[in-house]
Structure 1
Amino acid sequence: MERLSLVFSFTIALFQILQTVTVVTAQSPAPAPAGPTNITAILEKAGQYTTFIRLLKSTAVADQINSQLNNTNNGMTLFAPTDNSFSSLKSGTLNSLTDQEKISLIQFHVISSYIPLSQFQTATNPLRTQAGDVSNYAFPLNVSTAGNQVNFTTGIDNATIANTIYTDGQLVVYQIDKVLLPLSIFGPHPPAPAPAPSKPKKASRSSASPSSDDASSALYVKVHALESFAVAAAAIAAFWL
């Protein structure tokens, strides 16, 4: 009877140990498999970014983003317009762009640094995107905030951050409600510089001074007149004598 009691106690203790091990194992899930960051995969998972994904791929900007994220420690901020945002553009807008303009358009939605939502409140305008030049008539992008709302203006249209799609401390992707249209592509051309004042023309030698032929003719006239005057004077003198 005593042996049976010991076996029963051992069985209970073993059961409790196994139960504890099971609980610890369940609370420690296996880490997710690591893999390179892929911006188009992030957008595909989020949905409603078909047009933006197509442009990222056709312009090779997606490859550039993935390369920077996976091969450097540099951060990146991406503004992703939804399919509805592209649908609201004037018909034929994208088809009217050259290949280089499409590249610049997509680069205008990328900043080569990681900007959390709260940092837009202290950001310096204009923001420099991968499109480059931020001067007037080029690619200026200005940001303003009102409470938790973040707004952008390009000089052509205005957009607002609607949602944070993805963030990992190096990459942040924001959903925006409009396509950012840069001045360089969609705006008026800068005014042409004023023409330089014309210089007064110098008088030609022919009009400023007489030619040698004219001078010779004038000298002949003078000599002939003096000879005629002398002949006339001599005739008068002879008459009075």
Structure 2
Amino acid sequence: MNPTKIFICFTTLLFTYTLAATSPPSPITLTPTPAPAPAPDYVNLTELLSVAGPFSTFLKYLQQTKVIETLQNQANNTDEGITLFVPKDKAFTNLKKPSLSNLTADQLKQLCLFHALPHYYSLSDFKNLSDSGPVNTLAGGSYTLNFTDVSGTVKIGSGWTNTEVSSSVHSTDPVAIYQVNRVLLPEAIFGTDIPPPAPAPAPVPDIAPVADAPDADGGKGRAGKASSPSGADRVGVGRWLMMVVVVYGGFMVVL
């Protein structure tokens, strides 16, 4: 090969290499990886019910039947969340008939599950539930509840029980806990022979004072006589009092 051509090729290669070595590298664009969504906070139902209100009786039943574990799993390990209706201690104290003392272990467990819905519902969601008919509870089967929204007040019916949500204990997705004033009793346990509600006490009528009615002779009858004497009557009485009859020694003296 011609030495001149060899020199030219070598010079060209050397220039290309030198240019590539001295040129700044092309910038590399990196696509940021999106941060993972934060996991929802773990809700400890036992701790929450222990400090939130007078719910010790209901919590005792949840622990005794181990339903608390089912509720805890539903609350923290499912996408649906949970809605729990918690009766106050006084609700169990006022429960005379039917009594919970005669329930079997399985019936008591179902009773506890009857107080939970397998979904998170805010208070505003119950307005839609009013038109959807009976709502299934965690007890399953025929253990359903009926809801009505009356001017923002959520009323709950189970056949045996008619009560309402009296306050919101905790309402942050995925866990909603609402206080109720009565224990929810299912027909599936206590039957359909529901006693009628006690009649409301009859209202006491207001008794207005009766005015004296005038007689046919212009108010001078007995009703009129029972009233205070008029001025003329007082004058007549005075004249009679001025007449003193003295009987002494066979003489009668009128003064």
TM-score bracket for this pair, using the shorter chain length: 0.5 to 0.7
Supply the RMSD in Å over aligned alpha carbons. 1.7
For residue 99 of structure 1, report the CA deviation from its aligned partner.
Answer: 0.3
1:79 paired residue number: 85
Is 1:150 aligned with 2:158? no
2:119 paired residue number: 113
2:108 paired residue number: 102
Aligned partner letter, 1:159: T
Q: TM-score, normalized by length of structure 1?
A: 0.60
Aligned partner letter, 1:109: H
Q: Larger radius of gyration, structure 1 or 2?
A: 2
Pair 117,35 (structure 1): closer, same or farther in 2 beyond 3 Å: closer
Mapped to 1, the partners of 2:64 and 2:134 lie a distance apart of 28
For residue 58 of structure 1, report the CA deviation from its aligned partner.
Answer: 0.8
Larger relative contact order (CA 8 Å, sep ≥ 6): 1
Aligned partner letter, 1:178: R
Mapped to 1, the partners of 2:72 and 2:161 lie a distance apart of 28
Any idea what SS the aligned residue of 2:167 has? Answer: strand
Q: TM-score, normalized by length of structure 2?
A: 0.57
2:135 paired residue among 127, 133, 139? 127
The structure with the greater share of residues assigned to strand is 2
Mapped to 1, the partners of 2:57 and 2:70 lie a distance apart of 18
Mapped to 1, the partners of 2:42 and 2:188 lie a distance apart of 34
For residue 93 of structure 1, report the CA deviation from its aligned partner.
Answer: 1.2
2:145 paired residue number: 141
- Mark the runs of 5 or more structure 1 residues left unpaired by the alignment: 1-33, 190-241
- Mark the runs of 5 or more structure 2 residues left unpaired by the alignment: 1-39, 194-255
Any idea what SS the aligned residue of 1:141 has? Answer: strand
For residue 92 of structure 1, report the CA deviation from its aligned partner.
Answer: 7.6
CA shift digits 1:49-68 (9 cap, x unpaired):
01100011111111111122
For residue 72 of structure 1, report the CA deviation from its aligned partner.
Answer: 2.6
Is 1:37 aligned with 2:43? yes
Is 1:175 aligned with 2:179? yes
Any idea what SS the aligned residue of 1:143 has? Answer: strand
5 Å matches for 1:17-96?
36-90=42-96, 93-96=99-102
Any idea what SS the aligned residue of 2:135 has? Answer: coil
1:232 paired residue number: none
Is 1:159 aligned with 2:163? yes
Q: How many residues align?
A: 152
Mapped to 2, the partners of 1:152 and 1:102 lie a distance apart of 20
Identity of aligned residues (%): 34
